[in-house]
Amino acid sequence: MFRQKNNPVPTQGELMQASTRRITLCGLMLTAIAGMTGCTTADNGSAKASQAATAALAANSPFAQVSSLPYNMPPFDRIKDSDYKPAFEAGMAQQRQEARAIATNSAAPSFDNTIVAMERSGQMLSRVSEVFFNLVSANTSPELDQTQQEMAPKLADHKDAIFLDPQLFARVEQLYQQRSSLGLDPESLRLLERYRTEFVRAGARLSAADKDQLRKLNQQISSLTTQFQQTLLKANNDGAVIVDRQADLDGLTPEQISAAAQAASSRKLDGKWLIALQNTTDQPLLAQLKNRQLRERLYTASITRANGGSDDNVAGVAQIVKLRAQRAALLGYPSHAAYELEDETAGTPDAVNRMLAQLAPPAAANARKEAAAIQQVIDRQAKASHAKPFKLQPWDWAFYSEQVRKSRYNFDESQIKPYFELNNVLQNGVFYAAQQLYGISFKERTDLPVYQKDVRVFEVFDQDGSPLALFLFDPFARDNKQGGAWMNSYVPQSRLFGTKPVVSNNINIVKPPAGKPVLLTFDEVNTMFHEFGHALHGMFSSVQYPMFSGASVPPDFVEYPSQFNEMWSHNPQVLAHYAKHYKTGKPMPRALVNKVLAARKFNAGFETSEYLAAAMLDQAWHQLPAGQTPAAKDVMAFEAKTLQAASSGDGYVVPPRYHTQYFQHIFANGYAAGYYAYIWSDVLAKDTEHWMDTHGGLKRANGDLLRAKVLSRGFSADPSAQFKDFYGRGPEVEPLLEARGLTGVTK
């Protein structure tokens, strides 16, 4: 997942399209504006105001100036929790002054003194935002949580102060109306058009009274989504399952049992074992635990977290959905989904509904077949042991599915995990595939400061040996880290500022006790390749303007490079290079490799169905019009009704990947009405995988073309046009249907 819209600040590079977004405004530095066409005394006044705001920070603030570290990497060793709030306040003051300088500039609007000026400002606010909102997800603390709560409504108000400024919008609108006569290059023209679009979508054409109402809604929504995120982290921690007897952990490896004991000890629960919750409905250890009662406890803890009690998110969801629908109506849209999808590749809720409805029936049919095979195993084992048979339940699926896999393909996860050691997968798998395809190379840097001891830093070099980027890798789960996996940017690439990318991948792998190897499931291996696809999108960025940098595209395109990059996890050449036994170094036997590859479609009905159920739930929440959203007491009933309808009334075979109260993607991370993006993007990814296979696979010419046509372009061109430019035509659904075992479905 690419972390999106978790930052309410208008930030550089991915304005209202992705996580750290900045509207950059004129007059940041005298040296930057000295040669700008149309800058007048107003610009100089803005520069002085900018300098004053910077001086207002303590001399030793790590955010007052651009970092002097390589690639402007944040100086994590100098940053204290107490540094963020004053930097936010000074950064907002600076940016507002810069915005007013543009709005009141006595010179006629020009592309340079208005649009480029907006790209140039907000540097201090961007520096603090890019660090803060990344760390509040990856390595939070009570003080950071408190700062986030305080800043959320202020930052929302700050964004509105810029986008709802009528003088500033008037300058943008004037240039937009003159755009055909300005002689702009394609990227500059797109920048002007995007600014105008963002202003309009932010409410710039509303009446003064409606703008006031919009400001209130934005502040409330910002506060509520922040609260959702923080409550969920607490619910995940509080919902951990405590086990009193080691015998109940039968089925886990000694390393996993030791890790559970260590996790319990870290919470002063010596003599017990702790199973932490991952941020999905299905929990990884359900596939191994033999104790059915413990499986049920773990599953129940998963689906009931954040529903009632001190960690309740249900009431907050009701408010978020209500306020989003009201905001959409105020902006002239029938629903929040209609508002969001207008600016994404899909275009409309109807287009998304059609796609989901097309895929759900065959996925459910496959899942029912999988369930029938599992039930046969349950019944056969019950008969053999003279026990009473039971009906398959959600907490049984992973455990017995693994047995079906073993019997069908003659292997299980325990046989392959010794071949997937974390560092080997990273360096000889993830990095190796990128080296072969794009010609880039990696060197670990231990001389640069990190925010947590397990974080690793790699310098990335281009095919000609020149410096390209820094890559931060944060692999392990922690109590103060959000669940899931994601990519973030600390420094976005931009030729305007001469910056190179600093990006990170965050994963939540359970860390084993000291001295023990980190052995991965194949799903975790796939996640590493997926997230690195996002990282490549950020690192290969080659654009002029920060707004277009890296993975700043809509959600239903941003997942395309990441899902495509998954193909290399199971590519025979790449797999042979990294699938080596952690003790002996011997490669995975060819027979076992063939079994792993043959099993790729196994359980696809379950996996597709759980995803589609969540995507439909997202659409159901956000296609509600204002005045028709449920009260808090009716939230879970609405969810149940939605899931029942999504399964054509015959009961959903598998639960959704996320239930409402822990659906962080849509209530905290910017995928509201956009969770469908994964399968929409996967159409493009599977087309690209098919193209690669038919054009020679893992070779430089293929990588260079994809990089030139897609990965380097960010949002500087229409995403659909980027794909067609690479693929030669529009997307085709057949490769996706084949990959998911859904052949026979028509477009």
Question: Known catalytic residues?
Answer: 531
Assess contact for 192 and 116: CB atoms under 8 A.
no
Of 132, 124, 158, which Cα lies nearest the Cα of 28?
124
Assess contact for 742 and 363: CB atoms under 8 A.
yes
Residue 198 parent element (H or E) = helix 186-201
Grouping H, G, I as helix, E, B as strand and the rest as coil, residue 741 is coil
Query: Concatenated DSSP letters for 427-443?
Result: IIIIHHHHHHHH--EEE
What is the Cα–Cα distance from 314 to 688, expressed in whole angstroms?
Answer: 40
Cβ count near 330 (within 10 Å): 16
Name the pairing type of β-strands 273-275 and 241-243: antiparallel
Q: Read off φ and ψ for residue 508, nearest 5 degrees.
A: -120, 70
Grouping H, G, I as helix, E, B as strand and the rest as coil, residue 275 is strand
Q: Which residue has the tokens 């394609």?
A: 186
Alpha carbon distances (Å) from 60 to 612, 736, 737: 50, 53, 56
What is the Cα–Cα distance from 437 to 696, expressed in whole angstroms?
Answer: 11
Which residues make Cβ contacts (< 8 Å) with residue 511, sequence separation at least 6?
Answer: 259, 454, 476, 477, 518
Of 370, 353, 368, 358, which Cα lies nearest the Cα of 745?
358
Structure tokens at 625: 């019009």
Residue 445 parent element (H or E) = strand 441-445
Query: Concatenated DSSP letters for 353-375?
Result: HHHHHHHHHHHHHHHHHHHHHHH
